[in-house]
Structure 1
Amino acid sequence: MTDIDISETTSAADVPWQGGRSRASAMMSKVPEVTAYFWGIKVLCTTVGETAADYLNTNLNFGLTNTSYVMSALLLLVLVVQFRVRRYVPVIYWLAVVLISVVGTLVSDNLTDNLNVPLTTTTPVFAVALAITFAAWYLVEGTLSIHSVRTTRREFFYWLTILFTFALGTSAGDLVAERMNVGYLLSVALFAGVIALIAGAHYLLRLNAVLAFWLAYIVTRPLGASVGDYLSSDRSEGGLGLGTTGTSALFLTAILGLVVYLSITGRDREQPLTP
């Protein structure tokens, strides 16, 4: 699902960007273009969200509560910066995604580990919360297109949606891999297959582009989490035994390299119309 246009054509600001791009859509967006780079970094961020949370909680002995406080504070700080900038800045945007991935993981883990809420409960609860957020966003703004994220209110809806997709993805991934005993490697194959089906439905069956985007976005979270668990878990648990330290370092390095590349080349940014 590369270069997918998730715009709606119900308003001038949401006219598709290929072909007859409107002047309204040439305004600076606060999010990147949806390319292969977008999906690649997104999966890397979801993996880091899983392994970094485990690393801070267990390896550094922060504990789940302290880790949640620290990472939530960092996320709020970065989001303040993200809201204040007037355009998409790769370093700031993707740092926010990494942190919100960690926080989304911690929200789910706090409910299951500290409050003993079962995954069979947290998964549908987060699904309902996400659905309510989508409904409120659409009722207020008339679109769920990320190409329309050019105002503070739309950006608020966007990041709230992202948070719930990560929390939902964490619970759903743990439910499948651990509670249902599917295993990490089979979970990777399962979620990758679901994403392939969504892409096929979009390109071959003309599934609504906005719906296809958000479905794929949600499923990349448990996909990345399953990849992270598979790489970091001990071989006795069905993993490769790289540990949370090695896995987090590997994926953070990959994210940094891609973000630096995109910052230099601008391959994931809107190109404004020439007057």
Structure 2
Amino acid sequence: MERKDKVDHALAKVPEVTLVFWIIKIAATTLGETGGDAVTMSMSLGYLVGTLIFATIFIVAVIAQIRAERFHAWLYWITIIATTTVGTTLADFADRSLGIGYAGGSSILFALLLVSLFVWHRVMGSVSVSTISSPKAEMFYWVTIMFSQTLGTALGDWTADTAGLGYTGAALIFGGALLLLVIVYYATHISRTVLFWCAFILTRPLGAVVGDFLDKPVANGGLAMSRYGASIALVVFIAVCMVVFRQRPARTAH
């Protein structure tokens, strides 16, 4: 009984996956794009410095999340936003500063993501978020999320720029893919864990192209919004969602 209580206690730090979860996730990934670009481009700090700044925030947030004794929605989403901002700057640094390119960066990150999921499954026996019951499992969870967020940035940029689909076209592609996952979820019995990670990965490139659409110049297909203004608006939107729609901890796996 004592061990079960400890497991339930740990799992309470992971939010229940609902429609609100996905809405906030997409907003958070969009914020990661505008916020990351605000620091690296608008502040002219560059991709390397921006990555170091957000990586520090990410590490601090993950440590706080793991050490927390119960679920804190604000702490959880701050950590998610930290992963998506560092994912933005890290992907841009690899793609542009190191010259790896969008296709190369996406391939490397996809391989790292698969390795992370594989090792997680081999060590813990499952990659389902409902089985996160120890600091080790949480570390796998956040490392996997980190890779997925970085991959999403590179994939979104590659689709919008290199593939020539533009921000609107890329948004339609990733939005359509998410809609297809919803249909598959309700029409089939495919593993919910597989569908969760597919959706989690796809929301990042969707947020990336939406973020670029908001702040890129009109000549490049964007709306030319201020990166600061767009970021503040997204922060307010996320905060309102969290206040209006209270999130519950995920159900435990027995």
TM-score, normalising length: structure 2: 0.92
- 2:231 equivalent to 1:260: no
The one-letter code sitting in structure 2 at the alignment partner of 1:250 is A
Equivalent residue, structure 2, for 1:209? 192
Equivalent residue, structure 2, for 1:67? 50
**Any idea what the Cα deviations from partners look like across 1:133-179, whole Å, max 9, x if unmatched?**
11101111111110111210000000000000011111111110001
CA shift for structure 1 position 243: 2.5
Task: Tell me if structure 1 keeps the 8 A contact 2:34–2:215.
Answer: yes
Task: Tell me if structure 2 keeps the 8 A contact 1:37–1:268.
Answer: no
Moved more, 248-257 or 160-169: 248-257
Matches within 5 A, 1:215-230: 215-230=198-213
| Match for residue 123 of structure 2 among 132, 140, 159 | 140
Gaps of 5+ in 1: 1-12, 14-21
Equivalent residue, structure 2, for 1:19? none
Equivalent residue, structure 1, for 2:170? 187
Matches within 5 A, 1:112-123: 112-123=95-106
Matches within 5 A, 1:162-173: 162-173=145-156
TM-score, normalising length: structure 1: 0.86
Mapped to 1, the partners of 2:161 and 2:31 lie a distance apart of 19
Equivalent residue, structure 2, for 1:88? 71
Task: Tell me if structure 1 keeps the 8 A contact 2:16–2:251.
Answer: no
- 2:213 equivalent to 1:248: no
Mapped to 2, the partners of 1:37 and 1:228 lie a distance apart of 19
CA RMSD of aligned residues (A): 1.9
The one-letter code sitting in structure 1 at the alignment partner of 2:183 is G
Gaps of 5+ in 2: none
Equivalent residue, structure 2, for 1:56? 39
CA shift for structure 1 position 233: 1.5
Mapped to 2, the partners of 1:33 and 1:270 lie a distance apart of 4
The one-letter code sitting in structure 1 at the alignment partner of 2:150 is A
- 2:252 equivalent to 1:269: no
CA shift for structure 1 position 208: 1.3
User: Does the residue aligned with 1:132 lie in a helix, a strand or coil?
Assistant: helix
CA shift for structure 1 position 125: 0.8
CA shift for structure 1 position 261: 3.8
CA shift for structure 1 position 206: 2.0
CA shift for structure 1 position 128: 0.7
Task: Tell me if structure 1 keeps the 8 A contact 2:105–2:154.
Answer: yes
- 2:139 equivalent to 1:159: no
Task: Tell me if structure 2 keeps the 8 A contact 1:34–1:268.
Answer: no
Moved more, 145-154 or 239-248: 239-248
| Match for residue 40 of structure 1 among 23, 26, 43 | 23
Mapped to 1, the partners of 2:5 and 2:138 lie a distance apart of 20
Task: Tell me if structure 1 keeps the 8 A contact 2:130–2:250.
Answer: no
| Match for residue 124 of structure 1 among 96, 107, 110 | 107
